[in-house]
Structure 1
């Protein structure tokens, strides 16, 4: 029957990761998505052998400004969210030595009028953590002044990044 959905399309799921949140999966039917990465940074990690991946949508670089908030919502901060992401990936059988990482966001969306430079500070915190932990970065689109939306297909590691004027695809 023409136009009939495939069986896999019937069971496909989109998991939306909100601001200051995180999700991981090893289900080939799942696409992980996060929207409107402005000054926030999206950390997308994927193990191509285990077909396991995750997205962290972090808001701020350091949890010391609000330890109570960090204990309730650790994914909000780089220094608490990144360890949580990697621990959660181990829980879905990802091998840390095979991880491919893509970073997006960290923009200055207030047309340069951000005296706190949250986007740049978020980028710096993420890059420093990954360097210290020894995780190589397969790709990144950081900085600038536009929002980004990213989607990760868990089945094949395809990352689609949407910007206001274009879409780009990367394979992890």
Structure 2
């Protein structure tokens, strides 16, 4: 079954027939994590780096923000049997949209927030496709852990 991760959304699975996909990652960040031994994976598609700008929205939808969505993604894959020491982490998105500068470069801020959280928790990135000016789509096969990255104008590759 295909599970579509919308904007400000997250899906996790341990079912071998499942795929998880998120589309149109521009300045948003898609965080995909997978434990090959447990056969568990998930994808988060978050919009903004910090929930402090709207704590009410963060409570109703923690997947909107890096600081609330990322911990929830890890919590849910751990609940399905994943272990931190075995997890592979893939990141896509964080693009610049309309050549934004400084504080208006949300893509860069989103990626920076992710890196702070991962570094604080001693989690390394396996592969990434971030920055630039292109939209990306990420697909994960739960049975194999294969990640497919489709970049606007460049086609799809398996990582």
TM class, shorter-length: over 0.9
| CA positional deviation for 1:96 | 1.4
Partner SS for 2:82: coil
* 2:126 maps to 1:135: no
Q: Equivalents in 1 of 2:83, 2:19: separation in Å?
A: 20
Q: In the TM superposition, what is the alpha-carbon distance from 1:114 to its structure 2 partner?
A: 5.4
CA displacement 1:20-65 (0-9 Å, x = unmatched): 0101000010000000000000000000000100000010000000
Indicate the residue corresponding to 2:50 in structure 1. 62
What residue is the counterpart of 1:9 in the other structure?
A: none
Q: What is the CA distance between 1:113 and its match in structure 2? A: 3.7
Please list every run of 5 or more consecutive structure 1 residues that lacks an aligned counterpart in the other structure: 1-12
Instruction: Report matched runs for 1:31-46 at 5 Å.
Output: 31-46=19-34
Structure with the greater alpha carbon radius of gyration: 1
Deviations 1:104-144 (A, max 9, x none): 0000122x145611000000000111011011110000000
Displacement over 3 Å in runs of 4+:
none
RMSD after superposition: 0.9
**3-state secondary structure, aligned to 2:138:** strand
Is 1:90 aligned with 2:78?
yes
- Cα distance between partner residues in 1 of 2:54 and 2:129: 28
Q: How many residues align?
A: 157
- Gaps in structure 2 of 5+ consecutive residues: none
After the TM superposition, which residues 102-141 of structure 1 pair with which residues of structure 2 at under 5 Å, given as runs?
Answer: 102-110=90-98, 112-113=99-100, 116-141=104-129
Q: Structure 2 length normalisation: TM-score?
A: 0.96
